[in-house]
Structure 1
Amino acid sequence: MTAPPHAADEPAADDPVVGDFDLGEVPTAREIRRFTARAARGRSGARAGALLQDLYEAVVAVGIAALITGGTVRQLRDALPPAPDVQAPGGLSLPVLVGVLLVAAVGALLSLAGRLGPVGLGGPEASWWLDLPVGRRGLLRPTARRLPLLAAGVGALVVLVLEAGMLERAGAPLARAALAGAVVAAGVVLAAGLAQTLGAPRRAAALTGDLLVLAAPVAAVLLVVTGVAPADLPTPGAGVVLAGALLVAACAVVVDRRLDDVPARTLREAGSVTSQALGAVVSLDSRELGRALGAGVAPRARPWVSRLRTVRGPASALVTADLVLLRRSSRHVVQIVVALLLPVLATVVPQLASPAGVLLAVVVGGWVAASGAGEGARWAQIAPVLDALLPLDARDVRRLRMVVPAAVMLVWSLVVLGAVGRWAGAPLDWLVLAVASTPVWAAAAVRAAYRPSPDWSGPLIATPFGALPPGVMAVLVRGPDLVALCLLPLWVAVALQAAPPVLASVQLVLSVVAVVVGSSTHERPWYERMLDDPDKAAPR
């Protein structure tokens, strides 16, 4: 009996299936990183001239940053009035305010580190490196070092500006303060990395940072109310800075030894958030940056379900959706509370309780609070699912998106301008101005949320900040332009330290104009539309 024709072609059981190839030894993690870097450089087409150009641009950027920092320090020094000999009762000294700002900065850094990872790998690296039969410690080591070193540099710069500009310190105390800032910033990021290696969710670190940001101004308000605020803060000594540096170094060693224990899922999620955030920064899209930082630590499940009893129709459904989204975003709630307390604290610090200082605090605090309250409009701009399902006109949708920011900014305006009225006198007139100016904040928040993205498809323009598309500034100022123009009576009142009824009347008219402009669905300015088609662009 003969065998089947194909039996002779089948390999024997002991024959090698792949072939007799010399596979060699498995490369180390460092060799894999170097091979990846060489492959990237080889395919990029860059030459030595490009490297020298990048080095030149980096040196110029560092020099410009140093000059800007020095100018900012000198301006702060010249703008602040001298400290009084005796602190007024119920006030807050400038050193204590600087300490509050530093604590809030530590909380913001911890929140940012928790949202970014801080250890993570991008899409291509995570897809290739994590499946290789090598230890992850060598692959993740450069990524784990990058963010702490960057945080140390930024922390030293921030402390240098605050200490030299606001407290007028110099010499050895200033150097120790800058080193302490670098040590604390690096330690905060390493603490978030250690929590990540221990398996703690990134949301826990982000929430802890948000609570620390909230605790800083609340503690300052309690110090003002109780009247136990100190007049000065001690400067860290050399021994304290050295001990902190040794502790941070030990934490870095522990994090480095535990890099193999970071789950692959966490690395992919952190790398995805970091890539999205970097893309938003490069493309000058602050809305995408906020979505990246917010969605990266969103909870996966809810222990309870809201009944949404306030929904009675399309309009109430839209307003309820915005309110629920704001309530579930702890970062924006903290942002609104901090923005509420910032101008109040500026009115009780002797060196800041001037028209310029209070005006700056009101502008910054108001815009930060309005941006936090307009979270629903920002999400609707990228995913207008609810807007498309409801039987509402596009302009009506934008007006309804102003309801939640208007409610938030009404409370903000009453509290803040009430404190400004206590500082300037005649609080009742300031409360009337607060009510009249509230719609402008809401309209500005919605206008900024629905602004078009910069057009990167056309030719770019060379600027000192890099290549930018034409008209990028006109896009970025959509929203802040209403704050600058339609709140002019409020700025005049703060500058004059008086709020007469005529300013409230003018403010009411400008608020109506702001609502009309904020509810417009045109993405291009009216003068550009008039140049294209004067008949369609003419106002009716």
Structure 2
Amino acid sequence: MPAARSIRRFTAQVARRRAGAGLGEVLGDVYYAVVISAVGIGVALGVAGALRTALPHVPDEALPSGVSLPTVVAVLAVVVAGVVLSLAARLGPVGAGGAEATWWLTTPVDRRGLLRPTSLRLPVVAGLTGGAVVALLDGGLLADHGIGHVLRLGLGAALLCAALVLGAGHLQSHGVPRRATAVVGDLVIAAAPALALLAALAGWRLSALPDVPWWLLVALALAVAGLGWWLDLRLGRIRGRDLRESGSVATQAAGAVVSLDSRELGRALTDSAARPRRRRVRRMRLARGPVTALLVADLTVLLRSPRHLVQLVGSALVPVVVVITPQLAGPLGVVVALLVSGYVGMLATGEGSRRAEMSPAVDRVLPLSAQQVRRVRLVVPGVVMLLWSLVAFGAVGSWEGDPVGWLLLGVASAPVWGAAAVRAAFRPSPNWEGPLVATPMGALPGGVAAVLSRGPDVAVLGMIPVIICVVLGTVVPTVLLVQVGLSAIALAVASSTSTKTMMERLSEASEAAEKEKRGRA
């Protein structure tokens, strides 16, 4: 029998031959990727530097209370670790999908040699991404040390992220369910803002991120190498079913990213950590008709997704952390916290609508029109985001000294988030049959930006009164009334079943008016 390495080489040769790409094209792609990565890092550093300049400057010794900016960066580093662990468990970390699972796993060869590149791919990607993010946070947002400190910190973060992925691979080789590892990562993410609040209550803060000595980096590198070598010895013990499941999830996620389908990406990450079977059966006694059946279904989908619950809890605590951080507690920081955390929380509430868009069979058999179904789907996201708004806007109101006014503004703006969630869930897919446009990310269909903006457009336009109030530092009654009107408009837009963009509607209206003028003439 041939060796596993020769099988991998043969497969790679056939793939390159059928792809028709020569050495020059491969080197050009590598060069292009390196240039784009460098440009992206430079832009991120510029944005972080501009944000650091725009934030209020408060010396560490003059902080009256709350947490310091280095403490917030340390909390964000914990979030990065939780995200790496959660994604590693959902995407593998070791898997074989498609042709690899069909052909490679059935051959009577050493499975270690077949899976070795796959077991190293995710730790390398996680290490590079995690190290770059932490280095950007330290060098761009803090900028209180030299380049050597930033590089050592980024290298340490990269090694820790790689170690987390390798640890998840060891758990997979021991038969630990991927769902359990993903839940641990989600809990780490949820614990990060809670740690910031505990630090504020205890009066504990960091004046700067600690420097990572070289001996510690060497020790981490040796530990990562040892974990990789140990995982390589255990690759043959991973069950074929686990490898196929992990590979199928990674393939589904990669296809969703290439096709710019965020809904499919969310389904891949959610279903990969879902419980395969339920020990208890819920009677759904609250479902008394078609309307209540939809409401119960949406609420059940939300409650059975730990990742979405973590999104809601963590995003609701972000504005609280921002307002208790004097170096972030300014109009810019509060606006960014409300918009970004609100959008992240909003995405967690629309899972029921996203599944209904993928499989509308249940909605079509109900004695409800399509518009009525959209209106019912607005209830659960609206109510959940109302609770989110009470926490977020309550913190902003305590910071501004007017809790009642800001709570009223939060209640008035909550329907906007629910409307954005439903509008984003039922947006049409990009038209890949039409002409393609050359972009830095490859060939994309025309009008893809208009499709992806459905949902975020409602959130941004509907939150303009909130932005005005944050900039003014007070809730103006006139602006509050405008917020009520915009929320009503957002609900009407989200309940509409039309898939056309605003530009297409205006174009059709102008054409109809032109035809009417010609008919009269």
Using structure 1 for the length normalisation, give the TM-score. Answer: 0.92
Structure 1 contact 114–205 (Cα < 8 Å) conserved? yes
The whole-number CA distance in structure 2 between the counterparts of 1:99 and 1:60 is 29
The whole-number CA distance in structure 1 between the counterparts of 2:209 and 2:121 is 32
The whole-number CA distance in structure 2 between the counterparts of 1:391 and 1:87 is 64
Structure 2 contact 67–204 (Cα < 8 Å) conserved? no
Q: 1:402 to 1:181 in 2, by over 3 A?
A: same
CA deviation after TM superposition for structure 1 residue 537, in Å: 13
- SS of the equivalent of 2:438 reads strand
Match of 2:88 among 113, 124, 128: 113
Match of 1:159 among 134, 138, 142: 134
Residue correspondence of structure 1 range 170-249 to structure 2 within 5 A: 170-249=146-225
Cα RMSD for the two superposed structures: 1.8
CA deviation after TM superposition for structure 1 residue 174, in Å: 1.6
CA deviation after TM superposition for structure 1 residue 234, in Å: 2.6
Q: 1:299 to 1:497 in 2, by over 3 A?
A: same
CA deviation after TM superposition for structure 1 residue 63, in Å: 3.0
Residue 356 (structure 2) pairs with residue 380 (structure 1) = yes
The whole-number CA distance in structure 2 between the counterparts of 1:463 and 1:227 is 49
Which deviates more from structure 2 when the two are superposed, residues 401-410 or residues 228-237?
Answer: 228-237
Match of 1:98 among 73, 96, 107: 73
CA deviation after TM superposition for structure 1 residue 310, in Å: 1.6
| Paired position in structure 2 for 1:142 | 117
Match of 1:432 among 408, 421, 429: 408
Q: 1:414 to 1:463 in 2, by over 3 A?
A: same
Residue correspondence of structure 1 range 268-347 to structure 2 within 5 A: 268-347=244-323
The whole-number CA distance in structure 1 between the counterparts of 2:157 and 2:126 is 9
The whole-number CA distance in structure 2 between the counterparts of 1:34 and 1:453 is 37
| Paired position in structure 1 for 2:436 | 460
State the AA in 2 paired with 1:128. W
Match of 1:350 among 313, 326, 342: 326
Match of 1:263 among 239, 243, 264: 239
| Paired position in structure 2 for 1:496 | 472
| Paired position in structure 2 for 1:363 | 339
Match of 1:485 among 456, 461, 473: 461
Structure 2 contact 316–392 (Cα < 8 Å) conserved? yes
Which deviates more from structure 2 when the two are superposed, residues 235-244 or residues 386-395?
Answer: 235-244
CA deviation after TM superposition for structure 1 residue 102, in Å: 0.7
CA deviation after TM superposition for structure 1 residue 232, in Å: 4.3
| Paired position in structure 2 for 1:523 | 499
The whole-number CA distance in structure 2 between the counterparts of 1:147 and 1:340 is 30
Q: Rg: which structure is higher? A: 1
* Per-residue CA distance 1:437-469 (angstroms, 9 max, x = gap): 111110011000101111111221112332211
CA deviation after TM superposition for structure 1 residue 49, in Å: 4.0
Show structure 2 runs of 5+ residues with no match: 516-521
Q: 1:51 to 1:366 in 2, by over 3 A?
A: same
The whole-number CA distance in structure 2 between the counterparts of 1:530 and 1:232 is 54
Structure 2 contact 56–330 (Cα < 8 Å) conserved? no
Residue correspondence of structure 1 range 27-46 to structure 2 within 5 A: 27-46=2-21
Structure 2 contact 96–243 (Cα < 8 Å) conserved? yes
- SS of the equivalent of 2:443 reads strand
Which deviates more from structure 2 when the two are superposed, residues 220-229 or residues 505-514?
Answer: 220-229
| Paired position in structure 1 for 2:519 | none
The whole-number CA distance in structure 1 between the counterparts of 2:448 and 2:514 is 22
Residue 374 (structure 2) pairs with residue 417 (structure 1) = no
CA deviation after TM superposition for structure 1 residue 218, in Å: 1.1
The whole-number CA distance in structure 2 between the counterparts of 1:325 and 1:204 is 19
State the AA in 2 paired with 1:303. R
* Per-residue CA distance 1:158-178 (angstroms, 9 max, x = gap): 111111112213232222101
The whole-number CA distance in structure 2 between the counterparts of 1:480 and 1:42 is 42
CA deviation after TM superposition for structure 1 residue 90, in Å: 3.9
Match of 2:372 among 390, 396, 404: 396
Structure 1 contact 377–449 (Cα < 8 Å) conserved? yes
CA deviation after TM superposition for structure 1 residue 301, in Å: 1.3
The whole-number CA distance in structure 2 between the counterparts of 1:251 and 1:71 is 36
Q: 1:86 to 1:54 in 2, by over 3 A?
A: closer
Q: 1:140 to 1:454 in 2, by over 3 A?
A: same
* Per-residue CA distance 1:157-210 (angstroms, 9 max, x = gap): 111111111221323222210111111110011011111111111111101100
The whole-number CA distance in structure 1 between the counterparts of 2:507 and 2:410 is 38
Structure 2 contact 91–246 (Cα < 8 Å) conserved? yes
Show structure 1 runs of 5+ residues with no match: 1-25
* Per-residue CA distance 1:92-135 (angstroms, 9 max, x = gap): 11111111111111011100000011111121111001111110
The whole-number CA distance in structure 1 between the counterparts of 2:387 and 2:514 is 37
Bigger share in helix: 2
Matched-pair identity in %? 50
State the AA in 1 paired with 2:12. A
CA deviation after TM superposition for structure 1 residue 72, in Å: 3.0
Match of 2:99 among 106, 119, 124: 124
| Paired position in structure 2 for 1:11 | none
CA deviation after TM superposition for structure 1 residue 326, in Å: 0.3
* Per-residue CA distance 1:384-416 (angstroms, 9 max, x = gap): 132112111111111111111111111111111
State the AA in 2 paired with 1:264. G
The whole-number CA distance in structure 2 between the counterparts of 1:59 and 1:233 is 29
